[in-house]
Structure 1
């Protein structure tokens, strides 16, 4: 760590004091009298001078100490005596009683801190050691990740469990902005906004990027840290890896909304999409077209070649239809060989073109069912345009279904419109 230029203390005044004295400039220790070096168990001044005061602070007292330093640097201020936990150069835990005041150094506001070793008080010392041991034992055995960030979003503490989840060691994370580990920086801002708005969050959803680049899902429960003036000083809390849970939930959702054979929306999902589309039609008054597609004489394929061959045909049929529709269209299976196609914000003319392309792509190329078997099949389409007199989506479906029967009755392999047959 780079060292500051030697600080010229007042002639032997501070060196002779029996109380420990440190002088800080921008949170860096630039002077330590012999009593301070002794208390900090430094074999040489270089073990203390030039180092950040943060190197000696206990994680749970960091925010309080830094708030006092910054307050004294901002204004001429004397902090009253307070007890803190610190680590010596040999990482021995001690408790000190310290007071500090603003100290001008070449025109810059620094801090003069005077403190005494309070660890001789055996009862307090024992309690602190037990507390520290419990803290580290808890941190070392946690499966979830405990963390703490300061007001600028810099990570000041994270427990060792982070290595198993993110692939980074705690030392690789501490000192870095928490936002570095979010794949989307806005997620971190949304979390901060929620915490500041309510003072805490519970099971807040988010994502993080592992060291290997993989994105994981996390659940965050955190609370605001306030300094002694009641101002925002950071955040602390726990987050856990819920990737497996989210994958399971997404898979369950997929199974609940997807037709297992064809991979498109199942009956429940496609009817829900139709309900959404119809509500947009009512609200925005844009065009909405609905197709019901039914494979002609599909039962004959099942009867002659078996249901396995019929399943192969259905999957290939869907693949061909998907090549002819747009990304904004919704395709789902109503049941058996019957399918629903929703053409939202689509004119009748455009829908007719899409329908004709589907008819052509189905009939023009035989379907390969395997084992040297191929069949030619056609599809009939019943079409309807939504009207404001349609009170429910069931009426849309009835109209499309009637148009489908009309297509079947008039020779199949064609598209018929409900409005045409009623005009």
Structure 2
């Protein structure tokens, strides 16, 4: 038998040398032993763990799930592997992988369980970071085209089920090509970043904004009230016009946006059609002299109507 030639203290020394947290429990869920790495992970001394149950060292909502998993393992035997969260005694939450096995005595009777813990908190944080990066526009840090359209589609689906409408805006930086041509692409990028920062910072809870491409932005509003949406659009238009951006000569660079606003007409209307009407409102604002907000009516569609599902 492994370690059978070692004294108990020597076995403990071997376990303490392991960097992986190890613990033992009897069939009643009482901790009978653990190594130094386990004690560090939990945030208690070993003597403060042995003789206790998971309910003594973890909040009840965590302890209950751990206890139920242990009970399932002792009923079925074999091994068990799963991801979970633990909460240290200092309140810090950690993402971990439990790997447990049932223990049996010389007569083949269940005596408890032994387990190891792999801390994957940093890996989980990296996964979240990578997922966030995949949804973000590299220049502006807003949602990218795919992410904002996915948000719109999900919201529209929920609104349909509740027989509710939604409102959105299409925004475009006026004369952006002229800014690039006169002041360079670096200054054009700065304009996009500042406009994006303003839009994201001035929206309300529940509103979302993404960069659709180039100098175009899509704002999906939490409110379904069209007059409320128009007022939000007017406020954003004015705040962009008040931006203080200087060019190389020190003069103030005038930046404005045009905005088209639309609301879904009925619960069966496709979200792509709502965007198309907001886009039509945007182009109407451009034709009306720019730096304007136009609320699209039911019949307003652009001549070059896009398929936003494929765009």
Question: TM bucket by the smaller chain?
Answer: 0.7 to 0.9
Kept in 2, the 8 Å contact 1:312–1:369? The answer is no
> For the structure 1 residues 276 and 165, does the alpha-carbon distance in structure 2 shift closer, same or farther, using more than 3 Å as the test?
same
Q: 1:414 maps to which residue? A: 292
SS of residue in 2 equivalent to 1:291: strand
User: What is the CA–CA distance in structure 2 between the aligned matches of 1:226 and 1:326, rounded to whole Å?
Assistant: 59
User: What is the CA–CA distance in structure 2 between the aligned matches of 1:387 and 1:197, rounded to whole Å?
Assistant: 52
User: What is the CA–CA distance in structure 2 between the aligned matches of 1:352 and 1:316, rounded to whole Å?
Assistant: 22
Q: 1:137-176 maps to which residues of 2 (within 5 A)?
A: 139-149=15-25, 154-162=30-38, 165=41, 168-176=44-52
User: What is the CA–CA distance in structure 1 between the aligned matches of 2:184 and 2:42, rounded to whole Å?
Assistant: 51
User: What is the CA–CA distance in structure 1 between the aligned matches of 2:110 and 2:290, rounded to whole Å?
Assistant: 72
- Alignment pair present for 1:257 and 2:257: no
> For the structure 1 residues 409 and 209, does the alpha-carbon distance in structure 2 shift closer, same or farther, using more than 3 Å as the test?
same
Q: 1:203 maps to which residue? A: 82
Q: 1:129 maps to which residue? A: 5
User: Which segment is superposed worse, 391-400 or 368-377?
Assistant: 368-377
Kept in 1, the 8 Å contact 2:170–2:217? The answer is yes
Which structure has the highest strand share of the two? 1
- Alignment pair present for 1:362 and 2:226: no
- Alignment pair present for 1:275 and 2:153: yes
SS of residue in 1 equivalent to 2:238: helix
Question: Cα distance, 1:314 vs. partner?
Answer: 1.6
> For the structure 1 residues 181 and 316, does the alpha-carbon distance in structure 2 shift closer, same or farther, using more than 3 Å as the test?
farther
Question: Cα distance, 1:371 vs. partner?
Answer: 7.6
User: What is the CA–CA distance in structure 2 between the aligned matches of 1:315 and 1:417, rounded to whole Å?
Assistant: 26
Question: Cα distance, 1:415 vs. partner?
Answer: 1.7
User: What is the CA–CA distance in structure 2 between the aligned matches of 1:327 and 1:300, rounded to whole Å?
Assistant: 34
Q: 1:389-404 maps to which residues of 2 (within 5 A)?
A: 391-404=269-282
- Alignment pair present for 1:320 and 2:195: no
Question: Cα distance, 1:221 vs. partner?
Answer: 2.6
Please tell me whether Structure 1 or Structure 2 has the larger radius of gyration of its CA atoms: 1
SS of residue in 2 equivalent to 1:287: coil
> For the structure 1 residues 422 and 266, does the alpha-carbon distance in structure 2 shift closer, same or farther, using more than 3 Å as the test?
closer
Kept in 1, the 8 Å contact 2:29–2:53? The answer is yes
Q: Note the residue ranges of structure 2 that are not aligned, 5 or more in a row.
A: 302-311
Kept in 1, the 8 Å contact 2:55–2:63? The answer is yes
Q: TM-score, normalised on structure 1?
A: 0.60
Q: 2:231 maps to which residue? A: 353
User: What is the CA–CA distance in structure 2 between the aligned matches of 1:163 and 1:218, rounded to whole Å?
Assistant: 15
User: What is the CA–CA distance in structure 1 between the aligned matches of 2:252 and 2:62, rounded to whole Å?
Assistant: 53
User: What is the CA–CA distance in structure 2 between the aligned matches of 1:180 and 1:368, rounded to whole Å?
Assistant: 62
Question: Cα distance, 1:373 vs. partner?
Answer: 4.9
> For the structure 1 residues 349 and 168, does the alpha-carbon distance in structure 2 shift closer, same or farther, using more than 3 Å as the test?
same
Q: 1:189 maps to which residue? A: 64
Question: Cα distance, 1:395 vs. partner?
Answer: 2.2
Q: Note the residue ranges of structure 1 that are not aligned, 5 or more in a row.
A: 1-123
Question: Cα distance, 1:249 vs. partner?
Answer: 0.7
Kept in 2, the 8 Å contact 1:343–1:351? The answer is yes
Question: Cα distance, 1:246 vs. partner?
Answer: 1.0
> For the structure 1 residues 308 and 240, does the alpha-carbon distance in structure 2 shift closer, same or farther, using more than 3 Å as the test?
same
User: What is the CA–CA distance in structure 1 between the aligned matches of 2:137 and 2:88, rounded to whole Å?
Assistant: 33
Question: Cα distance, 1:284 vs. partner?
Answer: 0.6
> For the structure 1 residues 165 and 416, does the alpha-carbon distance in structure 2 shift closer, same or farther, using more than 3 Å as the test?
same
Q: 1:114 maps to which residue? A: none
Q: 1:178 maps to which residue? A: 54
- Please tell me the root mean square deviation across aligned C-alpha atoms, in Å: 3.5
> For the structure 1 residues 232 and 311, does the alpha-carbon distance in structure 2 shift closer, same or farther, using more than 3 Å as the test?
farther
Q: TM-score, normalised on structure 2?
A: 0.79
Aligned residues: 296
